[in-house]
């Protein structure tokens, strides 16, 4: 690892410090400054786009089979460097080591999907008229951009970058300014795997560089993952500049718990979903709708949550502001009459007094109109709303502006089926608290959790990162003519 103390932009295969200003990067584990970051703008972006355009000329001419060879090697490098990459994720994001390792393993799986593209992306051909053939080929778009959030510094860039590259595009990656280090390692390891200069470029910074990406006249497509507020800005701005855009936003995932659910499994899954990665997952459980008599399950959830120890099996949240925001939500709910069953406020971890820790929190008797029921908290907090029957529970789930994930816990196939059909979310779990579809299935929500057509990973991403070329050919002049030939 060579560039962690001072983050640099990665342009045309070189690390360059060319931003206008800089900001500190903190480790949320203990609040220490671990690096500084350049705040780039339109000038630095232009350099990156020029490098990507130059590299596109030869990269796009390689066959798919040639391009995936680099990702075979890169996947091996991820595995060989697993420990160091996991520690880096932990350092910059604050999650636990095992969560960080799971993230890197998921990145490997995403590479496995990317290298399978030659088996999936077969073109189409048909004799559409006597002696006349029509074929459709998938062609890359050109220079594309990927903008990523703080919560999965290693994995989320792997949702987009490998597929976009393997399909023949060249990429500008803009990582979250809060967690820029894993992206640097990605660039270093891809270079080691043989990625030619300029094929992947990284520009660091915040709002200014994101706006420059949306406004750039020669960037063909932009993928975004982050909060709904910014997803809307990026989607509108990039689309109005005629870029193709998919923008994934925030979430407020509802888990519907029925009285017949397996109590141990349900309590364990619900709490793991709300507290895993300190609740900073767009797939995290945020609202539990308890249908009818579920007190026995809630009691077990309280036991599960009490066994979680911040700084040990629960990581930190990303920043001081995030900790304050999460604790404010809890206090507001309490003031409005909700009951705090497990309270994670004011948590100090010994030896890491300046870290940003919030303990697991369970809030019961939440009303659907409270902020903790409607807004994304993005911390290890679950709000329990009581419902008299499944119809009422489904109505509560449907009323959310978001629609990333929803889950049902029950042993009844017919009740589960009702939720599968009626929930207004893109990813549904049945007795699963974090229903992330694994490759080749694609990832993406509904409603205000995603803007744009298609999903961001899996087979759906092939549509996003390519355009169809349709060629009609005729070679034999003697062929009998009909109206199309």
- 225 part of the interface to ligand NAD, by CB under 6 A: yes
- 376 part of the interface to ligand NAD, by CB under 6 A: yes
Helix (H, G, I), strand (E, B), or coil: what is residue 61?
coil
Residue 439 token pair: 């490759």
- 372 part of the interface to ligand NAD, by CB under 6 A: no
Helix ranges (DSSP H) in 423-470: 460-465
Q: Which is nearer to ligand NAD, 251 or 390 (CB)?
A: 251
- 282 part of the interface to ligand NAD, by CB under 6 A: yes
- 317 part of the interface to ligand NAD, by CB under 6 A: no
Helix H or strand E encompassing 50: helix 42-59
- 180 part of the interface to ligand NAD, by CB under 6 A: no
Residue 344 token pair: 């994670």
- Beta strands 200-202 and 170-174, pairing class: parallel
Which of 60, 76, 129, 227 binds ligand NAD (CB under 6 A)? It is 227
Q: Which is nearer to ligand NAD, 39 or 265 (CB)?
A: 39
Q: How far apart are CA 191 and CA 199, in angstroms?
A: 10
Which of 7, 187, 210, 326 binds ligand NAD (CB under 6 A)? It is 210
Residue 413 token pair: 């196939």
Q: Which of 282, 326, 291 is nearest to 449 (CA)?
A: 282
Note whether 401 and 448 are within 8 A (CB): yes
Which of 103, 177, 327, 364 binds ligand NAD (CB under 6 A)? It is 177
- 251 part of the interface to ligand NAD, by CB under 6 A: yes
Would residue 134 show up in a list of annotated catalytic residues for this protein?
A: no
Q: Which of 230, 233, 250, 122 is nearest to 177 (CA)?
A: 230
Q: Which of 111, 146, 214, 282 is catalytic?
A: 282
Based on the number of CB atoms within 10 Å of its own CB, is 94 exposed (0-12), middle (13-18) or buried (19 or more)? Answer: buried
Site string for ligand NAD, 153-172 (x = CB under 6 A): ---x----------------
Q: Point out the residue whose Cβ comes nearest to ligand NAD.
A: 226
- 279 part of the interface to ligand NAD, by CB under 6 A: no
Q: Which is nearer to ligand NAD, 19 or 140 (CB)?
A: 19
Q: Which stretch binds ligand NAD (CB under 6 A): 47-55, 226-234, 386-394, 406-414?
A: 226-234
Residue list 84-113, contact with ligand NAD (CB under 6 A):
none
- Beta strands 124-129 and 132-140, pairing class: antiparallel
Cα-based distances in Å from 176 to 38, 145, 364, 435: 12, 13, 34, 25
Q: Which stretch binds ligand NAD (CB under 6 A): 9-17, 246-254, 350-358, 433-441?
A: 246-254
Active site residues: 282
């Amino acid at each position: 690892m060579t560039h962690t103390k001072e983050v640099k932009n990665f342009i045309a295969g070189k690390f360059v410090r060319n931003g206008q200003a800089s900001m500190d990067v903190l480790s949320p584990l203990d609040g220490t400054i671990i690096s500084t970051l350049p705040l780039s703008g339109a000038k630095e972006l232009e350099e990156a786009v020029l490098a990507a355009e130059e590299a596109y000329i030869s990269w796009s001419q390689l066959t798919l089979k040639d391009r995936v060879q680099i990702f075979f090697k890169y996947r091996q490098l991820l595995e060989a460097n697993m420990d160091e990459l996991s520690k880096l994720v932990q350092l910059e994001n604050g999650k636990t080591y095992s969560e960080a390792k799971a993230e890197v393993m998921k990145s490997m799986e995403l590479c496995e999907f990317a290298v399978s593209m030659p088996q999936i992306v077969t073109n189409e051909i048909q004799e559409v008229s006597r002696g006349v053939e029509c074929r459709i080929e998938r062609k890359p778009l050109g220079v594309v951009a990927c903008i990523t959030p703080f919560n999965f510094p290693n994995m989320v860039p792997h949702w987009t970058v490998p597929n976009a590259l393997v399909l023949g595009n060249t990429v500008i990656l803009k990582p979250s300014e809060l967690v820029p280090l894993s992206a640097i390692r990605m660039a270093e390891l891809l270079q080691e795997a043989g990625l030619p200069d300029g094929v992947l470029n990284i520009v660091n910074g915040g709002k200014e560089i994101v706006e420059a990406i949306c406004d750039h006249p020669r960037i063909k497509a932009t993928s975004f993952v982050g909060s709904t507020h910014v997803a809307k800005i990026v989607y509108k701005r990039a689309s109005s500049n005629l870029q193709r855009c998919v923008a994934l936003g925030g979430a407020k995932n509802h888990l519907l718990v029925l009285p017949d659910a397996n109590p141990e499994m349900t309590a364990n899954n619900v709490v793991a979903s709300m507290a895993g990665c300190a609740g900073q997952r767009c797939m995290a459980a945020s609202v539990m709708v308890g249908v009818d008599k579920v007190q026995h399950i809630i009691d077990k959830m309280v036991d599960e949550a009490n066994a979680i120890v911040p700084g040990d099996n629960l990581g930190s949240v990303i920043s001081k502001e995030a900790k304050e925001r999460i604790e404010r939500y809890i206090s507001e709910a309490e003031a409005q009459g909700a009951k705090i069953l497990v309270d994670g406020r004011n948590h100090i971890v010994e030896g890491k007094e300046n870290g940003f820790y919030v303990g697991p929190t369970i809030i019961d008797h939440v009303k659907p109109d409270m902020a903790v029921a409607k807004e994304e908290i993005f911390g290890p907090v679950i709000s329990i709303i009581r419902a008299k029957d499944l119809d009422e529970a489904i109505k509560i789930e449907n009323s959310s502006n978001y629609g990333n994930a929803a889950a049902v816990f029950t042993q009844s196939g017919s009740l589960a089926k009702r939720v599968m059909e009626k929930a207004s979310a893109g990813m549904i779990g049945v007795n699963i608290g974090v229903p992330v579809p694994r490759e080749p299935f694609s990832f993406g929500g509904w409603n205000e959790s995603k803007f744009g057509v298609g999903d961001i990973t899996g087979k759906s991403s092939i549509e996003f990162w390519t355009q169809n070329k349709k060629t009609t050919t005729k070679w034999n002049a003697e062929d009998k003519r009909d109206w199309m030939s």
